[in-house]
Structures are given as structure tokens and as C-alpha cells.
A and B are shown apart, each in its own frame.
Chain A
Amino acid sequence: AQSVTQLGSHVSVSEGALVLLRCNYSSSVPPYLFWYVQYPNQGLQLLLKYTSAATLVKGINGFEAEFKKSETSFHLTKPSAHMSDAAEYFCAVTGGTSYGKLTFGQGTILTVHP
């Protein structure tokens, strides 16, 4: 079985500050990891994905994430927050015989204040 834990259901940062959203996974097989963003009243949009190539993955809108096997983590970062980054962010895992079936974390709501 696979699982994802997102630490912190709400994160608040100032505009221009570092964004750090935490994700830890559990998987008995090599994982494939994803970060999705959901803006209000919209569907989920892929930010970035890790598929066993480079451990540092760059995504859209200036976000990146680093896969750390020893820590079973896949934290999402952005050096400088923008007001438009305010949204809910989901980490997800798949792999092995569960291929295609994503297991999502509970989500982290990011608030950016001026």
C-alpha cells in the first residue's frame, strides 16, 4: 500500500517569502511522485512530477521539488511567493502494481499575504 502525508493543512507566507510545502510518502516500491495545484472552483493542475530521473524536479510557475529517498520526502518549494500562488496543493504517489492509481495527500492550503 502507498500513502502520502502532507504536514500542515494550512501554510501562510508573505509575498516574496520562501514557500515550503512538506510531503512525506510511504511506498514499498519505487515511487512516482506528483504535486498538483487546485485554484478555487477549478480542477487539479499538474505542477511537477518525479519519475526516477533527476531527483530535483522543476515545474511550472517557478516551483520545484526534491526527491529524498532516505527521508521519504518530496517537499515543494518556491523561492519567492506571489499572490497568485494562493491555492491548495496536493502531493500524490503511485508506483508498482498500483500504476495509474494516484494516492493523494490531504492537501495544503497556501495563503499569501501582502
Chain B
Amino acid sequence: DAGVIQSPRHEVTEMGQEVTLRCKPISGHNSLFWYRQTMMRGLELLIYFNNNVPIDDSGMPEDRFSAKMPNASFSTLKIQPSEPRDSAVYFCASSSDLSHNEQFFGPGTRLTVL
């Protein structure tokens, strides 16, 4: 079985540019989570969806960040405009539902904003 798929794996961009990160959850999973990992702040939950509906976006740092889940097999996290402080590893995770089941993580996207 394919796990959670994220693309791209690495992204280098310049400040002010738009960045779009993509995630394909495990087939049959109906919950999807976006995390950001940095040395300073550790792992932070940005937003999560259940059945394609955003449940909690309180972790989204600013209006520059937005996330969508147009269908059960695809989600995007967009940063516009990007800033150097957005540099981090962004993880997508999915689970079969919200009832305390484990989350399966993708390999992450390493974003560098110059």
C-alpha cells in the first residue's frame, strides 16, 4: 500500500513567491492533518480536515497560509506571499477517523525561502 504522498519533497523559492505544497492521503482515510516542523518550535499542527471539511485551523500562523481539501484524495497548503521565516519541513498526515487512531505521516516537504 502506498503511504501518504507529498510533493514536492524539496522546494526552494524566493521571498514573496507563492508556494503550494501537495498531499495525497492514504486511500480510505478521512482525516488529514498539516504540520510544520522547525528546530525552534518543534512540531506544530497547522490545520486538520475530517471528510474534506476543515475542523480546526487555529494553528495556521497568518492569513498568508491557506489550506484546501477539494476531495478525499488531495489537499494543498498554500503560502502567499512566502517569507524566510516560513522555512521549515511541512508534514501531511492522515488517519482513518478522528477517534484517537494513529496518524500516518508523509515524508515531508522541506521548504526554503530565500
Contacts and interface: CB of A to CB of B under 8 A. Distances in A.
A complexed with B: yes
Interface of A: 32, 34, 36, 41-46, 49, 51, 90, 94-95, 99-102, 104-107
B42 A106 contact: yes
Given A44-B91, A100-B95, A101-B48, A94 B100 contact: yes
B63 to A, nearest CB: 22
B91 A43 contact: yes
Interface residues of B, number: 24
A32 B43 contact: no
Given A49-B102, A100-B50, A102-B45, 8 more contacts: A32-B100, A43-B93, A43-B107, A46-B102, A100-B100, A101-B48, A107-B42, A107-B43
Contacts of B105: 36, 43-45
A34 B43 CA distance: 14
Contacts of A51: 100
A94 B93 CA distance: 15
Interface of B: 4, 31, 33, 42-43, 45, 48, 50, 55-56, 91, 93, 95, 97-100, 102-108
A76 B98 CA distance: 25
A34 B102 CA distance: 8
Contact of A99 (B43, B93, B100, B108): B100
Contacts of A90: 43
Contacts of B48: 100-101
A88 B105 CA distance: 15
13 contacts: A32-B100, A41-B107, A43-B93, A51-B100, A99-B98, A99-B99, A100-B98, A101-B48, A101-B56, A102-B45, A105-B42, A107-B42, A107-B43
A35 B102 CA distance: 10
A72 B91 CA distance: 28
